[in-house]
Amino acid sequence: MSKTLIRGGRVIDPESGFDGEADVMIDGDSIAKVGTGLSGADETIDAKGMIVAPGLIDMHVHLREPGNSEEETISSGSAAAIAGGFTSVVAMPNSEPAVDNEASAAFVYLKASEAAKANVFPVGAITKSRAGEELSEMGLLSRAGAVAFSDDGDPVSNAQIMRSALDYAAMFDRPVLSHCEVKELVGSGVMNEGERSCLLGLPGMPDAAEEIMANRDVRLAEITGGKLHIQHITTQGSVDIVRTARARGVKVSAEATPHHMFLTDADVATFDPSFKMNPPLRTEADAEALVAAVVDGTIEAIASDHAPHSSEEKAIEFLYAPFGCIGLETTLGVVWTKLVVEGGVDASIVIERMAAAPARILGLAGRGSLAEGTVADVTIIDPAKQWTVDPATFKSKSRNCPFAGWELTGKATAVFVGGKLFEID
Amino acid sequence: MPGCLYDAEWIKTVTGQLADAALAEPVEPGDIVLAGVRTRGADLAERLAAELASRGHEIPVALLDVTPYRDDLAQGGVKALKGGTQMTMSIDGKLVIIVDDVLSSGRTARAAMDLLMDFGRPRIVRLYALVERTDRELPIRADAVGAQAETGPGDSVRVHLSETDGVDEVVIEKKEGN
Amino acid sequence: MEWKRKHLLGLEELSAEEITTILDTAASFQEVSTRSIKKVPALQGRVVVNLFFEASTRTSNSFALAAKRLSADTMSFSQSGSSVSKGETLIDTALNIEAMGVDCFVIRHSAPGAALLLANSVNSSVVNAGDGPHEHPTQGLLDIYTIREAKGRIDGLKVAIVGDIAHSRVARSNIWGLQKLGAKVTVAGPSTLIPRGIEAFGVEVSHDIDEVLATSDVINILRIQLERQERRNFPSIREYAQIFGVTQERLSRAKKDILVMHPGPMNRGVEITPEVADGDQSVILRQVTNGLAVRMAVLYLCMGGGGGGKPVDN
């Protein structure tokens, strides 16, 4: 078993509270030791000036396989993850067919191990075929390695079904990841409902459509004792709901995406479908509330909601284009630039939101941490590296990126996945 | 002549001469229609009509906006229209006198003739102007004119009329070296 | 004169001077429709294509006739339904047509931003004949022209727009144009048909048709659009007619010289009664006549000065 030493970087391990200059020794596929003046490695990586963090985990990605492989595959998605500094991604079940049975969960693991890049953890559907009517076989799915349950892409519109889901999934200690959207209120909406949608004449998606369901799910989590995680939270109102619920002791966590934190509905004025997402980009006030909540920990995790679409699909009228943008290869850079470099937020907070918290929320044992004996998933970040976002160079098969052309500071230069080194150009 | 100026008196005199020419045409005055090319040609046509009226002849005046008939619409920027054409009378069988301030390349006169043909079939068409430049580009001459100007490329002939410019004068400027 | 644009996509981006230029140019073209040979050769040999993805005979014919009055050749492509359901994208359809050699597209489409998408994809001029609820600039212009023709000015007038504001491109274009020229605009209708965020326009909002009639110089009555609403935002046509319909009785309590306008087609007996539509204060037919001159002006200005070549910065 070979030993690799990562020497002299700023090691940030939020789980243990360690933050300082140190060496990290990897032995085979696990972390052997974190300390100073370590030696005896077969290979040494000089990490001076770098950040050495537990492997980043993107807990919300869409990999489109099976069903829409021209947009992305498990292989291209896991390569894109590595390029973005992620060692693990959590794949949503809205492939075609949906991941609502053990065989399809096993398929994800199989394809991921064939690709041999980032780890891919499948999420099982809450309901069969994501149709919102009958619970999926959560027990068998859990046994097959599904780490959580979600009907993402769609909400669970029937409150009784959601109640049962939270209740039942708790038995297997799995969280329910909720896409909060009251479909009747959203209707044919394609952007945030407000002044800008009024000016543009595009049908709107009201903030209340997210908040009403977030509130519903929080109450259901409260009465069932289940674990709720609110996906892609976007409004001030939703933030307040999560804050007060946590204060009451409800088991609820939340994630925010970089596009919701740093873009707004003003960006839709050009009718460019790169800015069409569900949930939609909201107002400046909402974005500011999200950033503040991410910084103070009310929102525990940052995730990309990586949603690949082919160029043909996105190069049409805004009204008809599919929702979603990619994010695996820009999330770290955008978050680092806006929060750490421009916002003065400490790097440890970013590492907590992007590594420790996702591992904790999903119960991923041995991940999100650099403790001795844990899996050697490590991300090395150059906090000063300047680069420009050029989707043409992405490892993802898709190019629908709203940050195209952005000048960023901060990029992952290498990752270790289970002790195997991947250098990032 | 480096710079040449004709004054209001001259314009008044020429207007009178153009009226003489109109009355000398081989038709009854009742068969004459004046067609002034907007903008200054139209002002001139009104003056000519007033002069003829003072001699006892009521001659109708049509106002021509030849902009949509120009042959250079597809070149350079958009050309602003000049208020549209006003032709309330029939010109079939009439002697129509196109009135313009300066006859330059001849293209405006050609455009005016095309416009007239869209309205009817005049029996005779004449062209009257205050000044006719010698550097014409089309085979079109004025039938009655106040003065000829020996001009080449770069020279300018400008008519100012009080209705539009506040003063009556004709200014001829030759380019350096012409 | 102020015109350097190759496209007319909306009134939002135009200056007051540009709008006035279009109106003045339209005034100069007005007389062409009164001649016996209703033509001028201004756009001779140029090709104007009507690309209508939403059914409309009246606007389509108005543009076609305007083009013909300018001696342009016309072509018409109509496809209903979204481009997605047809299989060929908007851009592909347009590029195929352009490959035959055309100078201008007049596009009507159900998606906001479709005209902009087209303008960014082709070399020809693009005139927006309506892109979803976003803008219908020539309708806004002909409405403003009609008001100016009747009242002599726009500045200081009180103009009310009544009906389904939320789904109306006519309302939006009118609001942009009227405000730039100094009018005060009020939108009126059921609260469910006035969009959230309307304050962005800076207009007054009313739900009382009588109050609006009493104080307005102009009332522009919008058709209640049964096809664009996917949700019934008012309980019945009958109720709309009773509460918001403009009747002769209501109109008798309005200003004597109020102008009554409607973009057509009318739902007689719903938002407007036949007596009002055909009455003395109605300028609805003038709107149609003026529409010809306005569209001639728009085509002349956008296609004038060359056209063709790479898309210019509009």
Q: What is the pLDDT of residue B75?
A: 83
**Chain C neighbors of B107, CB-CB under 8 A:** none
**Residue of B80, B83, B85 lying closest to C1 (CB–CB):** B80
Binned average pLDDT, 10 residues per bin, chain B of 178 residues = 81 97 96 97 97 97 96 86 93 97 96 95 97 95 94 92 94 82
* Spatial distance between the Cα atoms of A178 and C265, rounded to a whole number of angstroms: 46
* Spatial distance between the Cα atoms of C181 and C173, rounded to a whole number of angstroms: 13
Between chains, do B77 and C42 touch, taking CB under 8 Å as contact?
A: no
The residue with tokens 């036949």 is: C274
The residue with tokens 């910065």 is: C313
Whole-prediction pTM: 0.89
Q: For residue B177, how many other CB atoms are within 10 A of its CB?
A: 6
Bond into A66 cis (ω within 30)? yes
A-chain residue closest to C113, CA distance: A271
Q: What is the per-residue pLDDT across A196-236, written as a single tens digit (0 to 9) for each?
A: 999 999 999 999 999 999 999 999 999 999 999 999 999 99
Q: What is the pLDDT of residue B3?
A: 72
Q: For residue B43, how many other CB atoms are within 10 A of its CB?
A: 20
For chain C positions 11-30, those within 8 Å of chain B (CB to CB) are 21, 24-25, 27-30
Chain centroid to Cα C76, Å, comes to: 19
Can you give the length of chain B in residues?
178
DSSP class per residue in A32-89: EEEESS----SEEEE-TT-EEEEPEEEEEE---TTT-TTT--HHHHHHHHHHTTEEEE
Amino acid at A251: K
Q: What is the pLDDT of residue B26?
A: 96
User: Averaged over A304-317, what is the pLDDT?
Assistant: 93
For C83-122, what is the HEC assignment? HHHHCCCHHHHHHHHHCCCCCEEEEEECCCCHHHHHHCCC
Interacting residues of A228 by C-beta distance below 8 A, sequence separation 6+: A166, A175, A176, A178, A217, A218, A220, A221, A250, A251, A252, A253
Indicate the average pLDDT of chain A: 96
User: Averaged over C294-304, what is the pLDDT?
Assistant: 95
**Chain C neighbors of B119, CB-CB under 8 A:** 35-37
**Chain A neighbors of C110, CB-CB under 8 A:** 319
| A90 in Cβ contact with A74 (< 8 Å) | no
Q: What is the per-residue pLDDT across A321-344, written as a single tens digit (0 to 9) for each?
A: 999 999 999 999 999 999 999 999
* Spatial distance between the Cα atoms of B110 and B117, rounded to a whole number of angstroms: 11
Q: What is the pLDDT of residue C78?
A: 83
**Chain C neighbors of A196, CB-CB under 8 A:** 197, 200
**Residue of C32, C40, C304 lying closest to B79 (CB–CB):** C304
Task: Return the exposure string of C70-83: e unless at least 16 CB atoms fall within 10 Å of the residue's CB, then b.
Answer: bebebeeeebeebb
* Spatial distance between the Cα atoms of A229 and A243, rounded to a whole number of angstroms: 13
Q: What percent of chain C has pLDDT over 90?
A: 82
Between chains, do B74 and C30 touch, taking CB under 8 Å as contact?
A: no
DSSP state of C151: H
* Spatial distance between the Cα atoms of C39 and C66, rounded to a whole number of angstroms: 9
Q: What is the pLDDT of residue C305?
A: 61
Between chains, do B77 and C41 touch, taking CB under 8 Å as contact?
A: no
Indicate the average pLDDT of chain C: 91
Q: What is the per-residue pLDDT across C232-241, written as a single tens digit (0 to 9) for each?
A: 677 788 889 9
Q: For residue A310, how many other CB atoms are within 10 A of its CB?
A: 16
Least confident of C193-202, C263-272, C298-307: C298-307
Q: What is the pLDDT of residue C229?
A: 53
Question: Which of A338, A148, A355, A177 lies closest to A258, judged by CA?
Answer: A338
Between chains, do C301 and B68 touch, taking CB under 8 Å as contact?
A: no
| Sheet strand arrangement including B32-37 | B61-64, B32-37, B95-103, B124-133, B144-149
* Spatial distance between the Cα atoms of A68 and A308, rounded to a whole number of angstroms: 10
Amino acid at A77: G
**Residue of C84, C116, C231 lying closest to A187 (CB–CB):** C231
Strands (E), A147-297: 149-150, 176-178, 191-192, 204-205, 228-230, 252-256
Q: For residue C99, how many other CB atoms are within 10 A of its CB?
A: 8
* Spatial distance between the Cα atoms of B55 and C203, rounded to a whole number of angstroms: 60
Q: What is the per-residue pLDDT across A70-89, written as a single tens digit (0 to 9) for each?
A: 899 999 999 999 999 999 99
Between chains, do C304 and B73 touch, taking CB under 8 Å as contact?
A: yes
**Residue of A188, A195, A271 lying closest to C200 (CB–CB):** A195
Q: What is the pLDDT of residue C310?
A: 37
How many CA within 13 A on the CB side of residue A147? 23
* Whether residue C124 has pLDDT greater than 90: yes
Distance from CA of B33 to the nearest CA of C (A): 17
* Spatial distance between the Cα atoms of C218 and C157, rounded to a whole number of angstroms: 8
Interacting residues of A4 by C-beta distance below 8 A, sequence separation 6+: A25, A26, A41, A42, A43, A44, A45, A416, A419, A421
Active site residues per annotation of A: 305
**Chain A neighbors of C132, CB-CB under 8 A:** 201-202, 319
Q: What is the per-residue pLDDT across C107-118, written as a single tens digit (0 to 9) for each?
A: 999 999 999 999
| B68 in Cβ contact with C40 (< 8 Å) | yes
Between chains, do A316 and C195 touch, taking CB under 8 Å as contact?
A: no
Q: What angle do CA B157, B161, B165 make, to 5 degrees?
A: 95
B-chain residue closest to C69, CA distance: B68
| A355 in Cβ contact with A22 (< 8 Å) | no
Distance from CA of A195 to the nearest CA of C (A): 4
For chain C, state the CA radius of gyration: 19
Q: Which chains have at least 3 CB atom pairs separated by less than 8 Å from chain A?
A: C
Q: What is the pLDDT of residue B175?
A: 82
User: Averaged over C292-306, what is the pLDDT?
Assistant: 90
Q: What is the pLDDT of residue C311?
A: 38
**How would you class C93 by CB atoms within 10 Å of its CB: exposed for 0-12, middle for 13-18, buried for 19 or more?**
middle
* Whether residue A399 has pLDDT greater than 70: yes
Q: Which helix (H) or strand (E) holds C41?
A: none
Distances (CA, A) of C128 to A61, B32, B82, C63, C108: 39, 46, 26, 11, 6
3-state percent helix, strand, coil for chain B, nearest multiple of 5: 30, 30, 40
DSSP class per residue in A269-293: GG--GGG--SSPP--HHHHHHHHHH
Distance from CA of B131 to the nearest CA of C (A): 27
What is the rounded end-to-end Cα distance, in angstroms, of chain C?
A: 17
Q: What is the per-residue pLDDT across A115-132, written as a single tens digit (0 to 9) for each?
A: 999 999 999 999 999 999
Q: Do B and C share at least 3 CB pairs under 8 Å?
A: yes
* Spatial distance between the Cα atoms of C39 and C44, rounded to a whole number of angstroms: 10
B-chain residue closest to C40, CA distance: B68
DSSP state of A268: G
Q: What angle do CA A161, A167, A171 make, to 5 degrees?
A: 135
| B102 in Cβ contact with B134 (< 8 Å) | no
Residue A13: φ, ψ to 5°: -125, 85
Q: What is the pLDDT of residue C85?
A: 52
Q: Which chains have at least 3 CB atom pairs separated by less than 8 Å from chain C?
A: A, B
Interacting residues of B43 by C-beta distance below 8 A, sequence separation 6+: B36, B161, B163, B164
What is the rounded end-to-end Cα distance, in angstroms, of chain B?
A: 9
Distance from CA of A324 to the nearest CA of C (A): 18
Between chains, do C306 and B82 touch, taking CB under 8 Å as contact?
A: no
* Spatial distance between the Cα atoms of A181 and B33, rounded to a whole number of angstroms: 75
Distances (CA, A) of A350 to A148, A339, A382, C7: 23, 8, 14, 47
Q: At what angle do helices C16-29 and C137-151 cross, to 10 degrees?
A: 70
Question: Which of A312, A415, A376, A337 lies closest to A68, judged by CA?
Answer: A312
* Whether residue C82 has pLDDT greater than 50: no
| Sheet strand arrangement including B169-173 | B3-6, B169-173, B156-160
Q: What is the per-residue pLDDT across A345-372, written as a single tens digit (0 to 9) for each?
A: 999 999 999 999 999 999 999 999 999 9
Return the sign of the alpha-carbon dihedral for residues A143, A146, A150, A151.
negative
